[in-house]
């Protein structure tokens, strides 16, 4: 696997591609873009092109060399279903996932339509968790219905950055929800009521809820450092994940 990570809901990251292009409001202050520019300045291998979409086939076999079962976020620095990534390359990535059954791979996209199209002809590996970003009503909520069309053991939502109140929404066929606020100097406000609505929807529909962070704005509506705001909600942390029975076949 490529690198350890501080992302709270995973253990390591694997980036067989890096770079992306913006397609919705959730992309506006992309952390990966900022990080890619920094890594390019540091002359880190793989980031010679900065945040320009780049395939890195030399990284494809990385998960096969790690025996210890690991939860791995695929393409934390890109979007595997970006329109400029050849379908043949996406298939190579999922072939590796299939051949590394000791690991759990989390694949997250904002390009839900292309993900659905890909899995019309390719069976999703049992150890692949497939997710979409749902940052607002206009762009994010429709992705949930699209995600339901994919046959996968675990389908999940990343509602980060949460940019508005999502109201009532259908979580049928969804196995996990992650929510969080935006971080960084230009972070947009996330209100307490918006997060509580997500938690309520999950509780009501019996879906595990993971609260990742407040980000740049605290529960009190004040802007401060991400670390100071923490990740407490209603006096506790929320680290729920899909039940073991749903994972047991591939962990």
pLDDT digits (tens, 9 = 90+) for 66-80: 999 999 999 999 999
Arithmetic mean of pLDDT, 41-58: 98
Percent of the chain exceeding pLDDT 90 equals: 95
As a whole number of angstroms, the distance between CA 178 and CA 74 comes to: 16
Of 132, 131, 207, give the one whose Cα is nearest residue 171: 207
pLDDT digits (tens, 9 = 90+) for 189-204: 999 999 999 999 999 9
Arithmetic mean of pLDDT, 31-51: 97
Domains of the chain are 3-247 (3.20.20)
Look at residue 94 and tell me whether its pLDDT is greater than 70. Answer: yes
DSSP character string of 135-194: -STTTHHHHHHHHTTS--SEEEEEE-S--S---S---TT--EEEEE---STTPPP--HHH
The confidence score (pLDDT) of residue 1 equals 55
The confidence score (pLDDT) of residue 249 equals 33
The confidence score (pLDDT) of residue 245 equals 45
Look at residue 44 and tell me whether its pLDDT is greater than 80. Answer: yes
Q: What is the mean pLDDT of the chain?
A: 95
Look at residue 248 and tell me whether its pLDDT is greater than 50. Answer: no
Are residues 142 and 121 in contact, defined by beta-carbon separation less than 8 angstroms? no
Q: Does the global pTM surpass 0.85? A: yes
As a whole number of angstroms, the distance between CA 98 and CA 94 comes to: 6
pLDDT digits (tens, 9 = 90+) for 152-190: 999 999 999 999 999 999 999 999 999 999 999 999 999
pLDDT digits (tens, 9 = 90+) for 107-132: 999 999 999 999 999 999 999 999 99
Look at residue 247 and tell me whether its pLDDT is greater than 50. Answer: no
pLDDT digits (tens, 9 = 90+) for 12-30: 999 999 999 999 999 999 9
């Amino acid at each position: 696997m490529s690198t350890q990570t501080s992302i709270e809901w995973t253990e390591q990251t694997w980036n067989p591609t890096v770079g992306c292009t913006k397609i919705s409001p959730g992309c506006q202050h992309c952390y990966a873009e900022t990080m890619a520019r920094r890594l390019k300045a540091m002359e880190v291998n793989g980031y010679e092109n900065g945040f320009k979409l780049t395939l890195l086939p030399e990284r494809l076999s990385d998960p096969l060399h790690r025996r210890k079962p690991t939860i791995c976020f695929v393409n934390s620095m890109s979007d595997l279903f970006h329109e400029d990534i050849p379908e043949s390359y996406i298939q190579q990535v999922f072939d590796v996932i299939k051949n590394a059954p000791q690991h759990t791979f989390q694949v997250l996209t904002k390009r839900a339509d292309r993900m659905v199209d890909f899995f019309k002809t390719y069976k999703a590996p049992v150890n692949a968790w497939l997710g979409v970003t749902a940052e607002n009503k206009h762009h994010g909520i429709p992705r949930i219905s699209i995600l339901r069309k994919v046959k996968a053991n675990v389908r999940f939502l990343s509602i980060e950055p949460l940019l508005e109140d999502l109201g009532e929404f259908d979580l049928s066929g969804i196995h996990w929800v992650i929510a969080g606020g935006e971080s960084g100097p230009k972070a947009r406000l996330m209100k307490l009521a918006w997060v509580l609505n997500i938690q309520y929807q999950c509780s009501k529909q019996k879906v595990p809820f993971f609260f990742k962070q407040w980000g740049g704005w605290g529960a009190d509506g004040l802007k401060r450092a991400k670390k100071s705001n923490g990740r407490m909600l209603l006096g506790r942390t929320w680290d729920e994940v899909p039940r073991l029975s749903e994972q047991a076949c591939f962990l």
